[in-house]
Structure 1
Amino acid sequence: MLMHPLWEYIALFKNISWHAARDIVMNMLLFIPYGFLFSCAYVKYRKYTIILAIALSVFIEIIQLIFQLGWSEIDDVVNNTIGAFIGYKVYGRTIKK
């Protein structure tokens, strides 16, 4: 498990790592639908979208760690949360009006 927060961002800016850029973008893109769809489906609980995104992301990373499926990284939790926040904000600016 990689416990160096934001190491992908450092790698991206130090080495212009396309691998790091891809990982960052893909993790965000995976959680944008979650943020949007959770906000749509559970309007009453919309304020918990980000907290639940963090919990879901941590759960995924723990499963990856236990079953040794890929890398378990703190950065993934950060990037997934950013993606969920983007989806949450898109819902707030488009559907809620």
Structure 2
Amino acid sequence: MIWFNNGILMLIIPIWILIRIFINIKNKNFSFKREFILSIFFIYILLLISKTLFPFTIRSENYWNRRAINLTPAIETIKMFNDAFSGGRNYMIKFAFINVLGNLILLTPLSFFITLLWKRFRSFKHNILFCFIISFSIEFLQFFTDMRTTDIDDVILNTIGAIIGFYIFKLFEKLYLRFFTKDNNKDKIVA
């Protein structure tokens, strides 16, 4: 994972910037603000992939016998907290909170950025459905890796986080329109 973060990210980000410059060289409606936000979104996507899927190694034969999937909502999360608090181990309590909060905030930026950048995701239904599909896809792919487990609680928490991201955008939009609106179409962020 360290190699992916340092090596690939350092290679992909300059390539992304060059591609965006090439695409926008003749674009008369170029918006620096939109390009900046797209670049931040791209970096977020790279980090999301890095955090959820790498290192990506295919399961070994003896790993298939271990339980690597949880399809019962909330049971494993409740059990994780119960075990952590009943054992009195601070590191387990910390792990339980980090796991839940991490899954809650994992797709919050995704929901916010897609709502900010593309009008079709201003619809609550389209936004949350897209984020749900992304979360489900991540969990599905994690099923085939050695280092990850597939958990329905992660999908639920990711989707709740996406809902939070959608409403953070709505709040941001109201504040932005109230305090920073200009009649300058060149500064548009949304495509």
Shared topology, TM-score over 0.5? yes
Paired positions, count: 97
More helix by share: 1
Percent same amino acid at aligned positions?
A: 28
Is residue 2:64 matched to residue 1:64?
A: no
- For structure 1, the 5+ residue unaligned runs are none
Amino acid at match of 1:67: T
CA distance in 1, matches of 2:147, 2:81: 27
Greater RCO, CA 8 A, separation 6+: 1
CA distance in 1, matches of 2:74, 2:140: 18
Larger radius of gyration: 2
Aligned pairs for 1:1-97 (under 5 A) are 1-11=69-79, 14-15=82-83, 16=85, 17-47=93-123, 48-96=126-174, 97=177
Could you give the per-residue CA deviations for residues 4-31 of structure 1, whole angstroms, max 9, x where no partner exists?
Answer: 2112542365343432221110011111
Asked whether the equivalents of residues 81 and 96 of structure 2 are also in contact (C-alpha less than 8 Å), the reply is no
TM-score (norm: length of structure 1) = 0.86
Question: What root-mean-square deviation, in Å, do the aligned CA atoms of Structure 1 and Structure 2 show?
Answer: 1.8
Amino acid at match of 2:114: F
CA distance in 1, matches of 2:106, 2:163: 12
TM-score (norm: length of structure 2) = 0.46
4+ residue segments displaced more than 4 Å: none
Asked whether the equivalents of residues 12 and 21 of structure 1 are also in contact (C-alpha less than 8 Å), the reply is no
